[in-house]
Amino acid sequence: MEIALIFLAVILATFLGWLLKQSFNTAPWVAEVVSDTAHHGPLGTNSRLIALLTLLAVITSFFALIISAYSLRMELGDWVPMTEPRLLWVNTGLLVAASLVFQWTRNAAIKGRDAALKPGLVLTGVLTAAFIAGQLLAWQQLEQSGQFMTSNPANAFFYFLTGAHAVHIIGGMVVWARATTRVMLDRGDAALTRRSIELCTIYWHFLLLVWLVLFGLLLST
């Protein structure tokens, strides 16, 4: 559980730091006109970004807890370390590429190079879908070699971790699909679409980071 606690401490410390800044040395009982921005959130007025960051904290807590369970379960006698399929390296490469392309698309969107949006978004989607397909293929390879979910707790955790991560990616692709449809059909508010792409990019980077942590954990144990 220490791992979950460390993650939690970091999240709470960030939150507390901001709260302290807001509340230290104030005299709430004094009636006065306060500055125009005193009611603003920690990142100005970007509500969607706040909601996304909160969601990322929730997801972090989710994965931190699974990793905690992993490390606790690992110490028990029946744990047989497994060898991960080589394919995972290729998949990791795909996900890194997807993140890079998304970042490039986002930069294009910010700078107003709208021509780059369509190919950028499509390529991101293809790379991400390829990652999911690759993960499924890795599952298939494992099963063909007789390593099922019930074979060993290490295997069970492998399927659980990769599956949970893939579900989060698929959730992200729903939002990606909405933004892409808007760009393709040239519909909707352009500013809104741009914001959507920005937020998706953050989410993609985050899930890449989660994957790198998970992959590192799987490789090292």
Residue 41: phi and psi, rounded to 5, are -75, 180
Min. distance of Cβ 131 from other proteins in angstroms?
Answer: 22
Closest CB 41 distance from other proteins, rounded Å: 4
What six digits make up the tokens of 106?
A: 């986002």
Nearer to other proteins, 76 or 115 (CB): 76
CB of 95 to other proteins, least distance (A): 23
Closest contact distance (angstroms) between CB of 24 and other proteins is 10
Distance of alpha carbon 55 from the chain centroid: 9
Nearest CB to other proteins, comparing residues 15 and 89: 15
Residues that bind other proteins (CB under 8 A): 1, 4-5, 8, 11-12, 15-16, 19, 22-23, 26, 28-29, 31-34, 36-42, 45-47, 50-51, 54-55, 57-59, 61-62, 65-66, 68-69, 72-73, 76-78, 149-150, 152-153, 156, 160, 164
Whole-number minimum distance, CB 217 to other proteins, in Å? 15
| Closer to other proteins by Cβ: residue 7 or 204 | 7
What does the block give as tokens for 26? 């104030």
Q: Which is nearer to other proteins, 4 or 95 (CB)?
A: 4
Toward other proteins, which CB reaches closer, 55 or 184?
55
Q: Are 160 and 70 in contact (CB under 8 A)?
A: no
- In angstroms, what is the minimal distance from the CB of 133 to other proteins? 23
Q: Tell me, letter by letter, the H, E, C secondary structure of the chain.
A: CHHHHHHHHHHHHHHHHHHHHHHCCCCCCCCCCCCCCCCCECCECCHHHHHHHHHHHHHHHHHHHHHHHHHHHHCCCCCCCCCCCCHHHHHHHHHHHHHHHHHHHHHHHHHCCHHHHHHHHHHHHHHHHHHHHHHHHHHHHHHHCCCCCCCCHHHHHHHHHHHHHHHHHHHHHHHHHHHHHHHHHCCCCHHHHHHHHHHHHHHHHHHHHHHHHHHHHHHHC
Residue 39 or 86 having the CB closest to other proteins: 39
